[in-house]
Amino acid sequence: MNEEEIVKRLKDRFGDRIEAYVKRKRRIVVKIDRELIIDVSKFLFEELDFKFFSTITAVDFPDRFECIYHVSRHDGIMILLKARIPKNDPKIKSVTSIWPGADWHEREAYDLMGIIFEGHPNLKRIFLPEDFKGHPLRKDFKLQEASWF
């Protein structure tokens, strides 16, 4: 199955609820609202054979957050699954039940960006102390001089 066939299968299944296109050879972009993350992820894993989870990139846009899931197949085709998340409600369902390798990546996005992954088996800070205030990769994070300087 090539890139165009994958995009067609996604569009046939999800219709206008997603935006999907071939970005370049072996790269597909799929844009969704957060409510579809589990349905689309299961379809990618079970029906289209996207078994390999690479990473999550969390991005802070002026009007929203976005989690970009990088998943691929045995033939090297990769999907960038971009899930839009409202700034005033930074929550999305965890995909750890589909791709267990997402565990630490979701914890990192939670720790540094404040995105809550609902249903995550152990959602706690991974880099910063539990009592740390804020999420330092957000654009609205205020740097303060540390007391030890």
76-108: pLDDT as tens digits:
999 999 999 999 999 999 999 999 999 999 999
pLDDT of residue 148: 60
Question: Predicted confidence band at 145 (pLDDT cuts at 50, 70, 90)?
Answer: low
Q: Which fold has domain 3-89?
A: Beta Polymerase; domain 2 (3.30.460)
pLDDT at 139 over 90: no
pLDDT at 26 over 80: yes
pLDDT at 149 over 60: no
Adjacent-strand bridge partners of 28: 22, 79
Contacts of 117 (CB under 8 A, 6+ apart): 91, 92, 93, 94, 96, 106, 109, 110, 123
pLDDT at 15 over 60: yes
**Tell me: the pLDDT tens digits for 42-76?**
999 999 999 999 999 999 999 999 999 999 999 99
The b-or-e profile of 64-96 (16+ CB within 10 A means b, else e) is ebbbebebbbeeebbbbbbbbbeeeebebbbbb
Residue 77 and residue 28 in contact, taking contact as beta carbons nearer than 8 Å: yes
Q: What is the rounded CA–CA span in Å between residue 135 and residue 143?
A: 11
Q: Among the listed ranges 24-33, 35-44, 121-130, which one has the minimum average pLDDT value?
A: 121-130
* Claim: this prediction has a pTM higher than 0.95: no
pLDDT of residue 136: 85
The DSSP symbol for 89 reads S
Residue 42 and residue 98 in contact, taking contact as beta carbons nearer than 8 Å: yes
Give 59 or 145, the one with higher predicted confidence: 59
Distances (CA, A) of 23 to 26, 70, 91, 144: 8, 14, 27, 41
* Residue extents of the structural domains in the chain: 3-89
Q: What is the rounded CA–CA span in Å between residue 135 and residue 122?
A: 18
Residue 21 and residue 79 in contact, taking contact as beta carbons nearer than 8 Å: no
